A and B are shown apart, each in its own frame.
Chain A
Amino acid sequence: MTTDLRDVRALRGPSSPLVRFENVSASYGGPAVLEDIELELPRGGLIGIVGPSGAGKTTLLRAMVGQVPRLRGRVLVDDRDARSGNPARVGWVPQLETVDWDFPATVREVVLMGRWSRSPWRPWMTGGDRTEADRVRDRLGIGGLGARQIRELSGGQQQRVFLARALIADPVLLLLDEPTSGVDIRTRDEVLHLLADLNSQGVTIVLTTHELNSVAAHLPHVVCINRRVIAEGDPDEVFTAPILNATYAADLRVVRQDGSVLVADAAPHRLRDALRHQHDGYEHAHHEHDGMPHQHALHEHDGAAHEHLPSP
């Protein structure tokens, strides 16, 4: 079901880095979210950033668009400082869970937002805007949905709308924050196919993900972070128990079979025992109540419920 995006590698030769983090540390006013990041992301790459919650994945993306309030060091995108007044063209696709779906915006309006910084003072859209919006919507297979309100779309279509908004600015780099979070398996597969297509057309893509098996393991390049860069490279090489344990501070194991990598909890029986213990405890308590002081109340309740049941 899931696309193997690693085939995209075969289309590329060696390339210069598009993004360079030079000794970057970042925070939002509290403790550091990123520390001493030295990282190069290849031009034309399809790269996944993985790590536990709070590891700094989204901050790493925000640093590439100069949107981290306290940042030390330098982030260069296409040889331009991300915080300069003239940053490189970067497209951003937010987490779908953060979007206000009740907002009165049509697909056409949302897609066109990606082009608004070119003419912020002109309140109306031009013929050129319309043509460009139609072109990018057609490219992503949402050509006929321009007048639809964004809530009326399926998960895959909604993701395409925000991809279209990012792509209409013709970016050199596309950043996606958890693009498969909260979507079903079919939509996830659809999104990954789409990203593979875009990447094969030359767009450099960086995405964050929590899904090691269903997303990250299929990407050509992953970066494991937990405030610092723990490891980076091909998931076949990077996804090892020591690296993942260092990244997640958890007891994980890696199973390799028929060329596939599967990351699993090293001690699943502990979790099962913990959950079953809870459940047994609940059952035990329930049985105790059946025969003890609460018996009367329970029977009263049962009787009342039965009175309302239809006869068989």
Chain B
Amino acid sequence: MDLITEPLGYAFFRSGLAVSVLVGLLCGLIGVYVVLRHMSYIGHGLSHAVFGGAVVAYVASVDFYLGAGAWGFAAALIINWVSRRRRIGADAAIGIVTTASFALGVALISKTRSFTTNFEAALFGNILGVTLLDLAVVAVVTIAVSVFITLFYKQLLFMTFDPEVAPIFGMRTGRVDVLFALALAATIVASINVVGVTLIAATLIIPATTARLLTDSFGRMLILSALLGATAGAVGMYLSYWQDVSSGATIVLLEAAIFVLAFVWTSVGRHRSAWAAAPVEIVHGRPQVFDDL
């Protein structure tokens, strides 16, 4: 029991636990859309773009959340817009916009040498150093994104499944795309101080991909992904405390371990059902497989 209660005696752990559960939930929710839109690289890319924005905000003496948020939102919109051009794919659009933004951040850092240490938290995450403001921002973004996903459930699902056909069926895709870009940018900005630029892509992709392995229903995938993210956040924090390992890395490693388990479990299950479902009849010494579909 002490394993669970002892760390809770420390304020930094309580804040870290709360924020890691919320970030796990938030990234688990939005990650489902990222994975199903085949934009897994966007988490990695946008976090780099936001890093550039954070440096610009610092240099311009603008609040981190405001500067990085506006920068991330603009980057997400540009990616969206560029990837709609027929000749440029989403992956290339992400690569161009986000690396350019990251390069700008690096250039500014090299020009102004005094603040390199301030950005270590943004690069590698610092769950144990979260402030009340960080916690409040993560909580507000989690609530806002949850409301957005609930209200726009049908439109987001249709657009994710069939973006070309959704407008034909009366879905207002342009407006929802902009709101989704805003939600994604807000998620990354809110999470960046917690898990860091380098690990945020994993928290977006791994829970959603694991959930996809475990269910064929979109609604269940959404719930499962959020639960997996939140659980990995909580358990990862405790493991990090007791093993004295970086919290962000522990959470991501735990999510990866769950993914491997789910992958093995579903692969074995599929092999079994494939053998059970395909009756094989030996006719004249040759196997014939009958498919009743």
Contacts and interface: CB of A to CB of B under 8 A. Distances in A.
A149 B216 contact: yes
A279 B221 CA distance: 52
Nearest to A93: B165
Contact of A103 (B36, B150, B154): B36
A119 B151 CA distance: 11
A104 B215 contact: yes
B161 A113 contact: yes
Given A103-B36, A149-B216, A154-B293, A116 B161 contact: no
Interface in B171-224: 171-172, 212, 215-221
A94 B167 CA distance: 13
B169 A105 contact: no
A100 B162 CA distance: 8
B213 to A, nearest CB: 10
B171 A169 contact: no
Max chain A CB contacts within 10 Å: which of B150, B161, B168?
Answer: B168
A10 to B, nearest CB: 32
Nearest to B218: A104
Contacts of B293: 152-154, 157
A169 B161 contact: no
A123 B153 contact: yes
Interface string A90-102: 1010100011100
Contact of A123 (B150, B172, B215, B217): B150
B86 A121 contact: no
Interface in A92-150: 92, 94, 98-100, 103-106, 109-110, 113-114, 116-117, 119-123, 149
Contacts of A110: 161
Nearest to A153: B293
Interface residues of B, number: 30
B169 A113 contact: yes
A152 B274 CA distance: 13
B79 to A, nearest CB: 20
A45 B168 CA distance: 21
Max chain A CB contacts within 10 Å: which of B152, B216, B220?
Answer: B216
B154 A116 contact: yes
Chain A binding site: helix, strand, loop or mixed by DSSP? Answer: loop
B98 interface: no
A122 B171 CA distance: 13
A105 B218 contact: yes
A106 B216 contact: yes
B155 interface: yes
B266 to A, nearest CB: 13
A282 interface: no
Interface in A78-99: 90, 92, 94, 98-99
A157 B152 CA distance: 29
Interface string A56-87: 00000000010100000000000000000000
Nearest to A110: B161
Given A104-B215, A104-B217, A90 B168 contact: yes
Contacts, number: 73
B41 interface: no
B161 A105 contact: yes
A293 B158 CA distance: 61
Contacts of B221: 104
Nearest to B154: A116
B62 to A, nearest CB: 35
B287 interface: no
Given A100-B161, A103-B161, A123-B154, A109 B218 contact: yes
Nearest to A65: B168
Given A116-B169, A116-B171, A117-B169, A94 B162 contact: yes
Interface in B137-170: 150-155, 157-158, 160-162, 164-165, 167-170
A124 B138 CA distance: 27
B88 to A, nearest CB: 13
B31 to A, nearest CB: 14
Contact of A67 (B167, B216, B219): B167
Nearest to A166: B169
Max chain A CB contacts within 10 Å: which of B155, B158, B293?
Answer: B158
Contacts of A122: 154
Contact of A116 (B150, B158, B168): B158
Contacts of B86: 28
Given A28-B86, A94-B162, A123 B169 contact: no
A99 B161 CA distance: 8
Contacts of A169: 169
Max chain B CB contacts within 10 Å: which of A28, A105, A149?
Answer: A105
A28 B87 CA distance: 12
30 contacts: A90-B168, A92-B169, A94-B164, A98-B164, A99-B162, A100-B161, A100-B162, A103-B160, A103-B161, A104-B212, A104-B217, A104-B221, A105-B157, A105-B217, A106-B217, A109-B157, A113-B154, A113-B158, A113-B162, A116-B154, A116-B155, A116-B158, A116-B169, A120-B152, A120-B154, A120-B170, A123-B154, A153-B293, A157-B293, A169-B169
Given A109-B218, A114-B169, 7 more contacts: A67-B167, A104-B36, A104-B217, A113-B161, A120-B152, A154-B293, A169-B169
